Chain A
Amino acid sequence: DTGVSQDPRHKITKRGQNVTFRCDPISEHNRLYWYRQTLGQGPEFLTYFQNEAQLEKSRLLSDRFSAERPKGSFSTLEIQRTEQGDSAMYLCASSLVDRVNYGYTFGSGTRLTVV
């Protein structure tokens, strides 16, 4: 078990460009979550999947954000037409539905800087 992997670790992009991040959860985990965190704040929920189904997306999330988990394994988060306000750490976490007491396992995150 290698834990939750996220790629890339850092991304610098120009405003208006599209970016895509990847998350590989712990293999037996059926739930996958995306969060965003800015300095001095806790992680903010973006969306989550159970297997390949996207079950919830934050109402605060712009239409520029989209996430997929095509085969119920890895997931991608795409941000289109990036804005400076998108600069943040993007965290992926995974869990088992029937092991709620174990909590989430987070990846190391992708730090996005929009210039």
Chain B
Amino acid sequence: GQNIDQPTEMTATEGAIVQINCTYQTSGFNGLFWYQQHAGEAPTFLSYNVLDGLEEKGRFSSFLSRSKGYSYLLLKELQMKDSASYLCAPPSVSGGYNKLIFGAGTRLAVHP
């Protein structure tokens, strides 16, 4: 299978900043998605990095280095509602990059 490595769990305090790292087997060309999944719910789209660099969207930012197979999701001003799993999703390196392959996700717990 395609190796996607993310920390299993992280904890942080409300109002703080947390960085969730992801390393993956890269084609060197394709972008990468991040999804958020609350317990018992479907994943929802957070961000897509088509090129290398930092993409900022409100409290959430995502960084990508395609050559290194490395991405991170940065969450600022954490709120309790940010407690969720965060899934790193590069396109599959097999089958023509036509589908996303998801990591196991990082379960983030935000405490008061």
Contacts and interface: CB of A to CB of B under 8 A. Distances in A.
Interface in B8-52: 31, 33, 35, 41-45, 48, 50
27 contacts: A35-B102, A40-B104, A42-B87, A42-B89, A42-B102, A42-B104, A42-B105, A43-B43, A43-B102, A44-B102, A45-B100, A45-B101, A48-B99, A56-B95, A56-B99, A91-B42, A101-B48, A101-B50, A102-B48, A103-B33, A103-B35, A103-B45, A104-B43, A104-B45, A106-B43, A108-B41, A109-B42
A2 interface: no
Nearest to B39: A39
Interface in B82-112: 87, 89, 92, 95, 98-105
Contacts of A103: 33, 35, 45, 48, 100
A94 to B, nearest CB: 12
Given A108-B41, A108-B42, A109-B42, A42 B48 contact: no
Q: In the complex, which range does the number of interface residues on chain B fall in?
A: 20 to 34
Provide the main secondary structure of the chain A interface. mixed
A45 B43 CA distance: 14
A60 to B, nearest CB: 9
Interface of B: 4, 31, 33, 35, 41-45, 48, 50, 87, 89, 92, 95, 98-105
Nearest to A43: B102
B45 A45 contact: no
A105 interface: yes
A100 B33 CA distance: 10
Contacts of B31: 101
Interface string A43-56: 11100100000011
A102 B101 contact: no
Interface of A: 33, 35, 40-45, 48, 55-56, 91, 100-109
**Residue of B33, B99, B102 contacting most chain A CB atoms (<10 Å):** B99
Contacts of A102: 45, 48
Contact of A41 (B43, B92, B104): B104
B45 A33 contact: no
